[in-house]
Amino acid sequence: MKKEILAYFNKNTDGIKSRDLAKKLHLTNDFEFHSLKATLHNLCAEGFLIREGKRYRVNLGIVPKTITGKLEINRAGYGFVSWEDKKLKDIFIAERNLGTAFTGDTVEVSLFAKQKGKGKNFEGEVVRIISRKWKELAGTLQKSDSLYFVIPSSPEIHKDIYVSSKNLNGAKEGDRVIVGELIWLSPKLNPEGKIQKVIDKTKLFESELITIASEFNLPHKFSSKTISEAKKITEEIDENEIQKRIDFRSITTITIDPEDAKDFDDALSFEELENGNYRIGIHIADVSHYVKHNSALDKEAVERGNSVYLVGQVIPMLPENLSNNICSLVPYKDRLTYSVIIEITKKGKIVDQNISKTIINSNRRFSYEEVQKIIETGEGDFSKEILILNKLAILLRSKRMKEGSINFFSVEVKFVLDSNGKPIEIIRKESLESNNLIEEYMLLANQIVAQRIGKVRKKSDVKPFVYRIHDFPDKDKIAEFSRFVKTLGYNYSVEDSLDPRKLNQLMESVKGKEEEDVVNELAIRSMAKAIYSHQNIGHYGLGFKYYTHFTSPIRRYADLLVHRMLFDYLNSKQPKYSTESLEQLSEHISFCEKNAVDAERFSVKQKRIEYLQNHLGDEFDAIISGVMHFGIFVKIRDILAEGLIHVRSLENDFYVFDEKKYALIGRATKKSFRLGDKLRVKLVRIDEEKNEVDFIVSN
């Protein structure tokens, strides 16, 4: 009880009544409520909480004079520092108090004595740089009089980098470069650096990867020690190792992946039992067998945190001979796996389950499109097995939705590139039934693994572990979302967010309607972000009390971590990780994931802009994705490219921003441009350097 209360107040500084807190923590009976009140009383006695009337809140008087945390600077020039204790909101840092810190740096902050009014952030001043986020930066070399400086490509970097003429390394004015060895001694002066590399514009793929890797601080070259260690690993499997495992090589096994996939983490085996049930093996590449704890491979994998998938290329977590071959579940080859094996009835009820090390030999590699064709026609290789697997997946999905999984959808695009990496076509991806087939078995495996470790009779039996958690949505964001859908004629309240099934009902009511896309997108934006944590609070979006990541160890370090811990626990071995180390690792891999997502989105945005360069003057069907006082943001429906229609380009009236109606409304004509409206637009300007796209409304 105490841990759950502390976890809540570590994220929330506003006062809350005991009854409301009981709802937040899903306490349902009188005994739990009395226990809650007693614990709140004890926390007040300890000085952690204070009571104001009927409300309890964190005692902000226990805040230290200095704190350490990560700095984020926005484009307006000021910043915020998030810190580990989280008993209060992020620390506000005015531009004059940033010192020599870049955004992303870990810094020590001296807190000012007073808060600026109740409920506002504390203020502070950066007094020391603990560690730099940026080792290198990509940018363009410019010259002013006799001085050289690099203008960083990343909008996050608010200072140009001075470069001495003796440190140009052959670079000339106008070159795209990588600048490193950054030194910044005084906020009154610019940072200094040395040119590490001139980016060859003729090698498009290479230059894009280097630029994005530098801008997002992504390691993209493996060390010689790591490469050497990887080369020593061979495909040959020792017979003694095979004897320790359940042998599935004679059982029908397939993989289903995107057509252009190069690494295959997962496979499904299928067999019909004499009792009429089915035995399904969810087989995951046993990367932990090859990548040993604290090896060079392991240290570099944890630094990367995950693979990063840019358009047309990848920055892998593991060297290619492991990720694309030895660990990859390629067809017709023996491969070591870690498996969740279930026995399931024809009605989709799981009657038995087992987690074990295995060996498989895949009979066939399928693409999603090939499996979809089999689902639709009933014909093709292993059609009997695939059709039954799909029927069971539908039953599992239906059960999951009834129990509270939220039915979001995300629309993605695929780029068709020429031999030079230039985008020649953008295709909107369709979510196929075959995608859902694989997803259900992966969700099931992840859930079973998390339950095996986390579901205990007594709290004293809880073992250190890494969970994939998803918190309840922020009430302010939900209130804003609720206000918007009410303008469209739908009802959804902050209280409704306590039951994910209410959101499913809303999504079902907008299905097929004009506003479906925008409601879905805004609902996703209203949600909390899923992260990794050593403390389990469940997964709100999936409606699972226990969930982890087990199914992609080739491309996610979290899964590799889970494999190791799971094996140790199931074999009564001493775990390799303490609670403290798991806390640090969870925070690190969560950051790596967010950084990778940002890099991938940036790569997609750049390719869209590159594609649009050849379409200036063209018209597109679009939807309004955002409304501000200065204009409306629109998203092209086919290729999902976004841009701005400036308010000054809206003709024949003076348009005023109506915040309550999410619209720009003409003062004379009353014509409105509202969030979610469809319209025809013309592409009129592209600024590739600033990643800006401008449209006008077509007549």
111-146, pLDDT tens digit by residue?
Answer: 775 454 444 567 889 999 998 888 888 888 999 888
- In terms of C-beta distances under 8 Å and separation of at least 24 residues, what long-range contacts does 569-572 make, across chains too? 569/453, 569/463, 570/355, 570/452
Mean pLDDT of 226-254: 96
Question: What per-residue confidence (pLDDT) applies to 64?
Answer: 63
- For the stretch 466-515, pLDDT in tens is 999 999 988 888 988 998 888 888 989 888 888 888 998 998 888 888 78
- To the nearest whole number, what is the mean pLDDT of the chain? 89
Task: Compute CA distances 69 → 82, 103, 617, whole Å.
Answer: 5, 12, 47
Question: What per-residue confidence (pLDDT) applies to 559?
Answer: 98
Question: What per-residue confidence (pLDDT) applies to 63?
Answer: 58
Q: How many other β-carbons are positioned within 10 Å of the β-carbon of residue 421?
A: 19
Question: What per-residue confidence (pLDDT) applies to 119?
Answer: 47
**Which residue type occupies 544?**
F
**Which residue type occupies 285?**
A
- Is the pLDDT reported for residue 565 higher than 50? yes
Taking the C-alpha atoms of residue 55 and residue 344, their distance in angstroms, rounded to an integer, is 49
- Is the pLDDT reported for residue 221 higher than 50? yes
- Is the pLDDT reported for residue 87 higher than 80? no
Band the pLDDT of 268: cuts 50, 70, 90. Answer: very high
Task: Determine contact, residues 494/485, Cβ cutoff 8 Å.
Answer: no
Determine which helix (DSSP H) or strand (DSSP E) holds 635, and give its type and residue range: strand 631-636
Question: What per-residue confidence (pLDDT) applies to 28?
Answer: 74
Task: Determine contact, residues 142/151, Cβ cutoff 8 Å.
Answer: yes
Band the pLDDT of 51: cuts 50, 70, 90. Answer: confident
Q: Which two tokens stand for residue 353?
A: 């389950």
- Chain-centre distance for alpha carbon 640: 19
Question: What per-residue confidence (pLDDT) applies to 117?
Answer: 46
Residue 310, strand partner residues = 313
Question: What per-residue confidence (pLDDT) applies to 372?
Answer: 97
Chain position carrying tokens 């695009």: 413
Terminal CA-to-CA distance of the chain, rounded, Å?
A: 62
Q: Percent of the chain having pLDDT more than 70? A: 96
Taking the C-alpha atoms of residue 70 and residue 90, their distance in angstroms, rounded to an integer, is 10
Is the alpha carbon torsion for 130, 131, 137, 141 positive or negative? Answer: positive
Burial class of residue 210, CB neighbours in 10 A (0-12, 13-18, 19+): buried
DSSP tag of 324: I
Band the pLDDT of 35: cuts 50, 70, 90. Answer: confident
- In terms of C-beta distances under 8 Å and separation of at least 24 residues, what long-range contacts does 294-299 make, across chains too? 295/229, 296/223, 296/225, 296/226, 296/228, 296/229, 297/226, 297/229, 297/230, 297/322
Question: What per-residue confidence (pLDDT) applies to 116?
Answer: 45
Beta-sheet pairing, 49-52 with 55-58: antiparallel
Mean pLDDT of 316-341: 96
Query: Could you give the maximum distance between any two Cα atoms of the chain, in Å?
Result: 85
Question: What per-residue confidence (pLDDT) applies to 388?
Answer: 98
DSSP tag of 166: G
- Is the pLDDT reported for residue 57 higher than 90? no
Q: Helices (H) and strands (E) in the chain — how many of each?
A: 17, 34
Taking the C-alpha atoms of residue 246 and residue 578, their distance in angstroms, rounded to an integer, is 30
Band the pLDDT of 110: cuts 50, 70, 90. Answer: confident
Question: What per-residue confidence (pLDDT) applies to 326?
Answer: 96
Could you give the 3-state DSSP secondary structure of residue 17? strand
Mean pLDDT of 173-189: 91
Band the pLDDT of 612: cuts 50, 70, 90. Answer: very high
Q: Which two tokens stand for residue 191?
A: 């940072």
Is the alpha carbon torsion for 343, 349, 351, 353 positive or negative? Answer: positive
- For the stretch 640-664, pLDDT in tens is 899 999 999 998 899 999 988 889 9
Distant-in-sequence, close-in-space partners of 216: CB < 8 Å, separation ≥ 6: 154, 595, 596, 598, 599, 602
Chain position carrying tokens 């991938």: 600
Distant-in-sequence, close-in-space partners of 22: CB < 8 Å, separation ≥ 6: 32, 33, 36
SS3 of 647-680: the string is HHHCCCCCEEEECCCCEEEECCCCCEEECCCEEE
Burial class of residue 479, CB neighbours in 10 A (0-12, 13-18, 19+): middle
Mean pLDDT of 24-42: 80
Lowest mean pLDDT among 238-247, 547-556, 632-641: 632-641
Distant-in-sequence, close-in-space partners of 508: CB < 8 Å, separation ≥ 6: 407
- Is the pLDDT reported for residue 581 higher than 90? yes
Taking the C-alpha atoms of residue 98 and residue 643, their distance in angstroms, rounded to an integer, is 32
Task: Compute CA distances 579 → 458, 465, 528, 564, whole Å.
Answer: 18, 8, 24, 15
Domains in the chain (CATH in brackets) are: 2-61 (1.10.10), 63-131 (2.40.50.140), 136-199 (2.40.50.690), 224-384 (no CATH), 439-605 (no CATH), 616-697 (2.40.50.140)
E strands, 387-458, in order: 413-417, 423-428
- For the stretch 334-378, pLDDT in tens is 999 999 999 999 999 999 999 999 999 999 999 999 999 999 999
Question: What per-residue confidence (pLDDT) applies to 547?
Answer: 97
Burial class of residue 652, CB neighbours in 10 A (0-12, 13-18, 19+): exposed
Taking the C-alpha atoms of residue 681 and residue 37, their distance in angstroms, rounded to an integer, is 58
Mean pLDDT of 290-296: 96
Band the pLDDT of 205: cuts 50, 70, 90. Answer: confident
Q: At what angle do helices 296-304 and 557-570 cross, to 10 degrees?
A: 130
Question: What per-residue confidence (pLDDT) applies to 587?
Answer: 92
